């Protein structure tokens, strides 16, 4: 009997259990819950870009009130901008922008310690205007309909991007984009 229990416990303990979050905020949280975690004021507003908002609307963006600061927040000790996207009252996307690309390896290691080994890690080649060749890396963690994606060169060759998003929200944005393209033909 003991022989059967031990392998079962070993198997269960090696299965990664993801609880994807960024700075304690999880997809599905309310705007009030996310704002309550902040010590400083957040600025929120309706997002009126018809090219990137699902047809049924309901999108609100929030970020820290920077008041002249170069970056409004920190993540893993780096100055960054964090944008929270709420879709019909629920947190649907968190974007951590302007992470210095030099911090990528250290932050990726911390994410792996927190969420386990990435589900996928892909390398691709990126070239700049001068013909310089660089290796871009994207690591992805998934939990059901949630995806956490960390890109070495997200905004440009100097900045990494970390995005946690809900698959239903992504599908709504993609459907809206396809519909706009059909109208534009």
Confidence of residue 88 (pLDDT cuts 50, 70, 90): confident
CA distance 49 to 162: 22
Decide which of 114 and 70 is more confident. Answer: 114
Confidence of residue 161 (pLDDT cuts 50, 70, 90): very high
- Give the mean pLDDT of 153-168: 91
Mean pLDDT score of the chain, rounded to an integer?
79
Q: What is the pLDDT of residues 119-141, one digit of tens each?
A: 999 999 888 888 888 899 999 99
Judged by average pLDDT, the poorest of 31-35, 99-103, 122-126, 147-151 is 31-35
Confidence of residue 17 (pLDDT cuts 50, 70, 90): very low
Whether 102 shows a pLDDT value over 90: the answer reads yes
pTM of the predicted model, to two decimals?
0.78
Q: What is the reported pLDDT for 118?
A: 95
DSSP calls for the chain: -HHHHHHHHHHHHHS------BTTB-TT-BHHHHHHH-SS-EEEEE---TTTS-TT--EEEEEE--TT-SSSEEETTEEEEEEEEEETTEEEEEEEEEEEGGGHHHHHHHHHHHH-S-SEEEEEEEE-TT--EEEEEEEEEEETTEEEEEEEEEEETTEEEEEEEEHHHHHHHHHHHHHHHHHT-
């Amino acid at each position: 009997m003991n022989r059967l229990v031990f392998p079962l416990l070993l198997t269960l303990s090696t299965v990664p259990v993801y609880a994807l979050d960024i700075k304690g905020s999880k997809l599905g949280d309310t705007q009030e819950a996310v704002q309550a975690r902040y010590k400083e004021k957040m600025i929120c507003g309706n997002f009126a870009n018809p090219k990137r908002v699902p047809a049924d609307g309901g999108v609100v963006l929030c970020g820290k009130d920077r008041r002249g600061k170069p970056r409004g927040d920190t993540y893993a000790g780096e100055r960054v901008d964090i944008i929270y996207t709420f879709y019909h009252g629920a947190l649907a996307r968190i974007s951590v922008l302007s992470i210095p690309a030099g911090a990528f390896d250290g932050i990726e290691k911390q994410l792996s310690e927190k969420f386990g080994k990435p589900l996928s890690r892909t390398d691709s080649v990126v070239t700049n205007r001068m013909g310089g060749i660089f290796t871009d890396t994207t690591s992805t963690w998934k939990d059901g309909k949630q995806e956490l994606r960390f890109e070495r060169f997200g905004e440009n060759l100097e900045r990494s991007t970390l995005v946690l998003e809900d698959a239903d929200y992504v599908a709504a944005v993609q459907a809206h984009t396809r519909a706009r393209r059909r109208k534009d033909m």
